[in-house]
Amino acid sequence: MSSGMNAMVIVGGIAALLLTGLVLYLVPMRLWIAAAASSARISMLTMIAMRLRRVPPHTVVGARISAVKAGIDAPVNLIEAHFLAGGNVVRVVNALISADKAGMNLSFQRAAAIDLAGRDVLEAVKMSVNPRVIETPKVSAVARDGIQLLALARVTVRTNLDRLVGGAGEATILARVGEGVVSTIGASDTYAKVLEHPDTISKTVLTKGLDAGTAFEILSVDIADVDVGANVGAKLQAEQAEADKQVAQARAEARRALAVAVEQENKAKIAEMQAALVAAEAEVPKAIAAALRSGNLGVMDYYNMKNMMADTEMRRSLSGDAPTPDKGQR
């Protein structure tokens, strides 16, 4: 009987310890006391509900204590909802404190929206208070006289909290500034004017409102360096002249090939006409033979004709007008 009583006492003791541990886990007494001492009172039931919702009370209560001590009203339900949404409550509260100290109007809902949008809200507030300088890569542009210029610009920007959600980032600012530099240099008559007055680039770029639709506000655009590059105009003219020369050479070659083709065609025609002449001359002996057979031409007449032809050839040779082989054959 005594052994059974001892077992019941041991089981009861273990149950009591487990119950005490569960109560101490569900009821963070030290955290509740710290919140009450910081004038950021939070009910015990709220803390127990946080445990049941798997929300760490230390994170939520610690953020509320920091906000209250800084004089900012951050309801615990909003802090808990932001944590459950996947936000960083510590950075949001720190951003609210920084904005309040800087005299900026930033609500908890706005800061939470910026944080949930993937932006670093604390860094955005710091950048809004302390503007940052971003440097563009060297922008290549060509003036109207064909001289290339390489310009380096430094852009001073600060965060625009009202446009931070959904606004374009730094890459858009750099692209727009580069576009403005290119258009300004391209509109200059000579590169010397740009080197003499580089501030005209800054003034032109600032008047275009390049920060529209972005998460930043451009405070200034300063041209840090301008270098003279290649003579692009002369290079393009030389390349165009080379291209024109190649085109002219191609056309001349086409005309030469056409002339050669015409010459070969004429030679073929001459050879054809010579063949026709030879064929016609071959008919003469046949005609003479036919005349002899028919009695229309006597033998003496034939020899007289031969003698006359021989005399003609002799006179030509004596006069220096020797017949060509083709003439002799004919």
φ/ψ of 203, rounded to 5, equals -65, -40
Q: What is the per-residue pLDDT across 257-272, written as a single tens digit (0 to 9) for each? A: 999 998 899 888 898 8
Tell me what pLDDT residue 5 has.
61
Domain boundaries, the chain: 2-129, 132-234
- Which own/partner contact pairs does 133-136 have at CB distance under 8 Å and 24+ positions apart? 133/157, 134/170, 134/173, 134/174, 135/224, 136/174, 136/177, 136/178, 136/181
289-311 mean pLDDT = 79
Residue 23's pLDDT band (cuts 50, 70, 90):
low
Tell me what pLDDT residue 207 has.
82
Tell me what pLDDT residue 7 has.
65
pTM of the full structure: 0.55
Above 80 in pLDDT, residue 165?
Answer: no
Q: Are 148 and 228 in contact (CB under 8 A)?
A: yes
Q: What is the per-residue pLDDT across 32-56, written as a single tens digit (0 to 9) for each? A: 777 777 777 777 777 777 777 777 8
Measure Cα distances from 323 to 279, 308, 327 in Å.
20, 16, 5
Above 60 in pLDDT, residue 16?
Answer: no
Tell me what pLDDT residue 330 has.
41
Above 60 in pLDDT, residue 149?
Answer: yes
CA dist 206 and 181 (Å) reads: 11
CA dist 232 and 9 (Å) reads: 98
CA dist 162 and 160 (Å) reads: 6
Which token pair is 56? Answer: 């760490």
Strand segments, DSSP code E, in 59-180 are 132-135, 139-142, 147-159
CA-based radius of gyration for the chain: 53
Tell me what pLDDT residue 278 has.
84
Residue 327's pLDDT band (cuts 50, 70, 90):
very low
Where does 132-234 sit in CATH, by number? 3.30.479.30
